[in-house]
Amino acid sequence: MPSPSAGGRGAVPALFSEPGQGRDGWDEGQALPEGRGAPDEGQALPERRGTPDERGTPDEGQGLSERRSVPDEERLARAALTRLVEPGDETVGRWLRRMGPVALWRALTGKGKPPPGATGERLAGCALRAPDVDPVTDLALIARCGGRFICPGDLDWPGQLDDLGDARPVGLWVRGAADLRMWALRSVAVVGARACSDYGAHVATSLGAGLAERGWVVVSGAAHGVDGAAHRGALAAGGATIAVLASGVDVPYPRAHAELIARMAEQGLVLAELPPGAHPTRPRFVLRNRVIAALTRGTVVVEAQYRSGSLVTARRAQQLGRSTMGVPGPVTSGLSAGVHELLRGEAVLVTDAAEVAELVGGIGDLAPERRGPLVERDLLDPVTARVLEALSARGGNHLRDVARESGTGCDEALGRLHELLALGFVERHGDRWELVPPVRRSDGARRGDPPNRGNRVKGLRR
């Protein structure tokens, strides 16, 4: 058993057998099926640290579950690659597609022919990281956190991530018991400014709660501001939410959201491309956003400046053919400037969860029709309304004056005035007609209430 290093990690044995022990090496001109390795990946499984008793069963030491369908050697290689290379590297993605994870691991660590086009600098960087790579330990760590590592080909791998092409994650480290694939099928991303205003926090919370109440999974990045508000809104409504981190799933970031992230791991899902113990960096935040965009049916941006990372998520969602939405704010607010610029393009303006669900949902997910308040005059036919408008509010009106102003004959005007009298709009005083005055606020009516004029609406509807 190798002696442990100062940091508590031992020198990792070769994951796969040395070249020449089995089939011929990989032919770099031969394309391989996606998600499978080169011919020499069929050789012996990686040597594992410790005795068989110390290693334990696969469920204990590797965090595997009945939802897995990827061979152990491929899972170990993918887990190792998440620590060896950075997320979203399309060059690595091309190599992975052609060579498979096992052969790529061997190639990047000097145990096989280097990948085509690999520079000496890249190989030297991988050589520096390789001694710290121990996928068996990482899988054991994620299992102790109540999580698992899922790969393309697993039953709970969300297929929409494949839309990222060569930028697709090598694998995902996940905390939480829910099926990621099923949850992602009906999910919406809510993202926005970290230093959001009270308005932005209120809107994000309302969106999170409203979407959760409609059965949608709310996805965000667990950051301060809009992200955290959206997660809290979904949790408060008893709904489902997913946090996509730019660190390991056991490293809560920001630290102030440690309790929130722990709650999401219990009630929802927390996932990351980086292995346990990994810390966030600025580029990793940007690369994390592509996963949020691809995982969901659409992205809503609530408050964002021109250089906001949430705009990166929205634009990536547009590139992937996902729905992109924005919530408008004051035109004088710099926090909404990026959203407004987005709305000038292909993004759709939304104001609440019902409008979001209508855009990303299926048939029947319709937002309620938006109309102003119904005024009683709206129920009058055009001629009667014209006669009513002809009456002066200053005092009595003679029939002839009403007929002239409304453009009707005296007989027609008289008939319409009697209709308005029956409905409570006008009063008659001798040969003059007057408008019924509105109810004063001192009589108990609230500002903006329509005048109290008896049963006029009921009469009109008859």
Say yes or no to pLDDT of 115 above 60.
yes
CA dist 442 → 438, 439, 453, 460 (Å): 12, 8, 16, 28
pLDDT at site 68: 64
H and E: helices and strands count for the chain: 19, 12
* Residue 462: band (very low, low, confident or very high) from pLDDT cuts 50, 70, 90: very low
Q: Are the beta carbons of 157 and 186 closer than 8 angstroms?
A: no
* Across 179-196, average pLDDT: 96
The pLDDT tens digits of the residues spanning 49-95 come to 332 233 333 343 344 445 568 899 999 999 999 999 999 999 999 99
Of 284 and 431, more confident: 284
Residue type, position 319, single letter: Q
pLDDT for the residue numbered 370 = 67
Percent of residues, the chain, with pLDDT higher than 90 = 60
Q: What is the distance of C-alpha 333 from the center of its chain? A: 24
pLDDT at 432: 86
In this predicted structure, the answer to whether residue 155 has a pLDDT above a threshold of 50 is yes
pLDDT tens figures, 117-130: 899 999 999 999 99
CA distances from 400 to 388, 389, 397 (A): 14, 14, 8
Q: Measure CA 201 to chain center.
A: 16
Angle at 124 between CA 121 and CA 129, to 5 degrees: 130
Give the containing element (helix H, strand E) for 201: helix 198-213
pLDDT for residue 67: 59
- Position 371 scores a pLDDT of 67
Distance in angstroms (rounded) separating the CA atoms of residues 424 and 431: 18
Residue 457's pLDDT is what? 40
CA-wise closest residue to 164 among 32, 345, 296, 308: 296
Higher pLDDT, 172 or 393: 172
Per-residue pLDDT tens digits for 326-370: 999 999 999 999 999 999 998 999 999 999 999 998 755 665 666
- At 256-277, the pLDDT tens digits run 999 999 999 999 999 999 999 9
What b-and-e string marks burial along 348-382, b requiring 16 or more CB atoms within 10 Å of the CB? bebeebbbbbebbbeeeeebeeeeeeeeeeeebee
What's the mean pLDDT in 138-155? 94
Residue 230: φ, ψ to 5°: -65, -45
- Average pLDDT in the chain: 82
pLDDT recorded at residue 392: 83
Neighbours of 452 (CB within 10 A): 13
Distance CA 126, CA 385 (A): 81
Give the integer Cα–Cα distance in Å for 191 and 285.
13
User: Looking at residue 112, what is its pLDDT?
Assistant: 87
Q: Which residue has the higher pLDDT, 19 or 99?
A: 99
Of 160-164, 212-216, 332-336, 452-456, minimum mean pLDDT range: 452-456
Helix, strand, coil tally for the chain in percent (to 5)? 45, 10, 45
- Could you tell me if 138 and 79 are in contact, meaning their C-beta atoms sit under 8 angstroms apart? yes
Return the structure tokens found at 115.
């990948």
Question: Confidence band (pLDDT; 50, 70, 90) for 47?
Answer: very low
What would the mean pLDDT of 281-296 be, rounded to a whole number?
96
Report whether the peptide linkage leading into residue 280 is cis, meaning its omega lies within 30 degrees of zero: no
**Nearest one of 28, 52, 53 to 38, comparing CA atoms:** 28
Looking at 1-10, 107-116, 234-243, 331-340, which range is the least confident one?
1-10
